[in-house]
Amino acid sequence: MSISAHITDELPAGDDADTMRILVIEDDREAASWLIKGLKECGHVADLASDGVDGLELARDGNYDVLIVDRMLPKLDGLSVIRMLREQNVMTPVLILSALADVDEKVEGLRAGGDDYLGKPYAFSEMLARIEGLSRRQGAEPQKTNITVGDLSVNLLTRTAKRGDTQIILQPREFKLLEYLMRNADNVVTRTMLLENVWDYHFDPQTNVIDVHISRLRAKIDKDFDTPLLHTVRGAGYMIRAG
């Protein structure tokens, strides 16, 4: 997995309301300390477990919003940790971080009960966007048929979008793109996440084809209105938010 984002000073800092309790299960102390430092700087609370057994204990008892699990761990490997948690009905969202990042390995990780998979090395912003997406997915009501951000709303049943009173005509793919952005409203969505979730392809194109799709979508939803909703987060990706 390649990384197209650069770390900049514009890391999206979480609001206090969005503070997450995160458990990092990772045996490489240096990597783990960088990760925890970054998470804390973004206003999250992060604990560390440095082997699989400790990780399983903490994940079971602690009330975490998201788990970040490395695959290759001492004592008990990451996938086993996830499997055992799921067997015990612990449904905390899990992001798997691993140097094993081929498509089949990703599939294996997701089958074990992981919710998302990120290959090492990764960009911190990409990782952050993904765990924020995960914790949101956890909170969202699955039955929702309407998503609204500001005066923009999409109807998931009729697959139509409206801004204020104006109907917005969207191609099917544009609708999927907007739907994904709306589901992750107020969170950064990276280009890789878009390619994975909207197009279902797990690699990076060399040219920034996604940007053109975004700018077309932006032309439809933002161009004729005063307040832009679709923002570019420099060096990270995109975000839909009201105001």
Partner 1 sequence: MPVSLKLLKTSTFRLAAVYLVVFLLSVGAILGYVYWSTVALLEQQTENTIEAEVQGFAEQYRQRGLNGILDTVRRRSRAEEDSVYLLANQIGRRLAGNLASLPQQAAGNTPGWIEFPYEVDSPRGIRHHQAKAFYTVLEGNFRLVVGRDVEERRKFARIIRGTLFWAIALTLVLGVGGGLLMSRNFLRRIEQINASSRVIMAGNFAERMPMSGADDELDRLSTALNEMLDQIERLMKGMREVSSNVAHDLKTPLTRMRARLEDALRGNGNDHRDALQDTIAEADQLLNTFNALLSIARAEAGQAREGFSQMDLCEMVRDIAELYEPTVEEQGGEFDIAVCDGVDVFADRQLMAQAMTNLLDNAVKYGRDSEQGSIKVAVSVEATDKEIHIVVADHGPGIPEADRERVKERFVRLDESRSEQGSGLGLSLVAGVMKLHNGRFELEDNEPGLKARLVLPRPAQDS
Cα(92)–Cα(113) distance, integer angstroms: 10
How many residues touch partner 1 under the rule CB under 8 A: the total is 26
Q: Give me the residues paired with residue 231 across strands.
A: 239
- Cis omega (within 30 of 0) for bond into 121: yes
Cα(46)–Cα(133) distance, integer angstroms: 17
2 near partner 1, rule: CB under 8 A: yes
Site for partner 1 in 145-184 (CB under 8 A): 173
Cα(16)–Cα(14) distance, integer angstroms: 6
Site for partner 1 in 108-127 (CB under 8 A): 121, 123
Q: Which position among 34, 140, 203, 242 is part of the footprint of partner 1 (CB under 8 A)?
A: 203
137 near partner 1, rule: CB under 8 A: no
209 near partner 1, rule: CB under 8 A: yes
220 near partner 1, rule: CB under 8 A: no
Comparison of 6 and 37: residue with beta carbon closer to partner 1: 6
Q: Is 188 within 8 Å of 128 (Cβ atoms)?
A: yes
> What is the 8-class DSSP label of residue 16?
G
Rule CB under 8 A: which residues touch partner 1?
1-4, 6-8, 102-104, 121, 123, 173, 199, 201-207, 209, 212-213, 215-216
